[in-house]
Structure formats: structure tokens, C-alpha cells
Amino acid sequence: MTRDGVRLLVATDTGVTHAHFRDLPAYLRAGDLVVVNNSATMAAQVDGTLAGRGPVVVHAASRLDPMTWVVEVRTAPDAARAVLDLRPGEVVELADGVRLDLVAPHPRIDSSPTGRGNRLWRVRVVGPHLLEQHLQRHGRPIAYGYLDHRYPLAAYQTVFATRPGSAEMPSAARPFTPELVARLVAAGVGVTAVTLHAGVSSQEAGEAPATEWFEVPADTADLVTATRARGGRVVAVGTTVTRALESAVQADGTVHAVSGWTDRVVSRAAPPRVVDGLVTGWHDPDASHLLLVEAVAGPALAQRAYDAAVAGGYLWHEFGDAALLLPAHHRA
């Protein structure tokens, strides 16, 4: 099956339609704008040894500078759970003489909402080569627990992936194919890109999404503003795109070019201002994902979509089926 052969549930205020992802152009209009994430997935999982304690699995979450990273240390061999009793000064030894010196919890010492320990750590990379090079040589994609075998890194890349930096796949765009993009453009639907390097997603209950690096380029910012001025809809492909765009909105409602780190959390209390629709995969309704979906689609539409997906046997997770959520209202 081609990537665009997965099922697509289209949810609007007037009802739910069952289709396939290749049918996406039929549910958009000329003048709409589809915004995708061009971040590429890294081989971000690597084996190591926690000095004095034994084997661990390291998830490289994000790069702060060439020698400083944020990582998550998990139990070996299956990375089933985070190691939560780490201490500053401990060392994770990797292959080829590379080591990670634990500096401090990230983003701060009290960042665990449960008080059970800090999941993310800032580390200093020491050794003969950079961590990016080490991941290229020894890394593998972060594996999801529901998969029955490992897939190559290419399976975790979207057709838009040009800028390596995501620890986990920006998976909402996985069903797109070059042919589907060409059909969207031929139908008068614009397609443009932002970058947001997605970190690791294994948050504790109540833990806010980590800060992530993003960039909204000038041409994308101008297209978003112009699309809304003409009455077109801005359709974000995934929560990463939603977060990036909403981090670039100015006080007057326009979108400007910007890059840096964002801690924006889109929710009903802090709703989106420029995103009118959402393409998303079906994920377990954890707090941050569900809050963003409800913020874009509205709680009633989001609930109808999830109920229909469960009743219809839609496939969950990153390699599963997809949804297009199109609420009727536009935001100022």
C-alpha cells in the first residue's frame, strides 16, 4: 500500500466522512493553504552504559549547541521506562570513546510534575566526534512500543523532510506523496513549510511539552497572512506545525518570520489564532495532544471524530490512519 492509501476521516461541523488520504484534495478548496513540517527524523536512539550502574538506552531529544544536548536516559534493552534517579555528574559512556556528562535536569530541577524524578537532562558531549556524527554511525530511530519489528530510518521520514533535527517523526505528514502534493497544487491549494524539530514525546502525566526549536520563514509567514486575508483556510499538518505557526503570530494577527525556541502550548485557554484546520494522526489522547486538537477543532467536533474513529476501526499511532478536522469558524 502506498503511503496515501491509509484511511482519512474528515470531520466538519456538518458530519463525518470516511475516505482515503489520497482523497485529501477533494476536501480542500482553491485558496486554502496546507502548511507542513520539513524537519527530518534523526536516528536518535543509541545504546550506552551508565557508569557504575550498567546498560541504558539514550534518546537524543534536542541539540542546544554543538556540545550540549538534551537527552532522556531509559532502561535497557527495550527503553521501556525513563531512568528517574539520575544525578548531576553521572556519566553515560557511548561507543567510540564518546561520553555524555550529566549537567542538570532540563528545563529545571523541579520540572517533574509528579516529583518522581527528572526525565530530561542537559548533557555535555565529550569525545572524538560530535553527537550528530555518533548518531549517524550508531543510532537507530526511536522505536514505538506497538511495533512488532524495527523499520529503517527512511520509514520515519516524510516526503518534506530536508532539515534533520527531530527526535521523533513529525508523523502527520507521513501519508503525503509527491503525486498527492502535485494534485493539491493543481487544485489551487497552496503548500508551504515551517520547521519544528520535535523532541521526545514520552511526557509524564501533567508535564507540559518541552521547548522545541522552530523556524517560520518569511515566505511562509507571508503566505499564511495573505491566505487568511483572502478568506482561505490555513490547514496545519500536525501539532508541530500548529505550534510553530502559533508561535509566530503577532499582536495584530499577522504571522512574521521568526526562529528560536518555543514553549507555546496551544489549548482552549490559549487557542490558535491562525490555524483553521488540522491534519493529524490518531494518537492516544494524552493531555497535550488532545488539548491542541480540541483547541483547533472544538471539543464537540474532536469528540465526534474520535468516537467515529474508534467505531470505524481506524489504525492508531504514527504508522496508522489520519484525520482532517475542519471546523466551520475562522478566528480573528
Model confidence at 117: pLDDT above 80? no
Separation CA 138–CA 57 (nearest Å): 12
Rounded Cα distance between 183 and 109, Å, is 49
What is the spatial distance between Cα 259 and Cα 57, in angstroms, rounded to a whole number? Answer: 31
* Per-residue 3-state assignment (H helix, E strand, C coil) for 69-107: EEEEEEECCCCCCECCCCCCCCEEECHHHCEEEEEEECC
Supply the pLDDT for residue 202: 63
- For 318, how many CA atoms within 13 A lie in the half-sphere containing its CB? 18
Q: Residue 197 in contact with residue 62, Cβ under 8 Å?
A: yes
Structure confidence at residue 286 as a pLDDT band (50, 70, 90): low
Residue 44 is which amino acid? A
pLDDT attached to residue 84: 94
What is the per-residue pLDDT across 21-77, written as a single tens digit (0 to 9) for each? 999 999 999 999 999 999 999 999 999 999 999 999 999 999 999 999 999 999 999
Say which range, 25-34, 94-103, 215-224, 311-320, has the weakest mean pLDDT: 311-320
Retrieve residue 137's grid coordinates. 554511525
Range 157-183 average pLDDT:
97
| C-alpha to C-alpha distance for 307 and 302, rounded to whole angstroms | 9
- In this structure, the dihedral spanned by the alpha carbons of residues 212, 233, 279 and 205, taken in order and rounded to 10 degrees, is 50
Output the CA torsion sign for 174, 180, 185, 187: negative
- The DSSP output letter for 219 is H
How far is it, in rounded angstroms, from Cα 119 to Cα 105?
A: 8
Helical residues (DSSP H) of the chain, grouped into ranges: 131-138, 178-186, 218-229, 239-246, 287-297, 299-311
pLDDT in tens, 231-279: 999 999 999 999 999 999 999 999 999 999 999 999 889 999 999 999 9
List the domains of the chain with CATH numbers: 3-41+149-326 (3.40.1780.10), 46-138 (2.40.10)
What cell does 134 get? 555518533
Model pLDDT for residues 92-107, shown as the tens digit of each residue: 999 999 999 999 999 8
Supply the pLDDT for residue 209.
Answer: 79
The model's pTM: 0.93
Terminal Cα-to-Cα distance of the chain (whole angstroms): 40
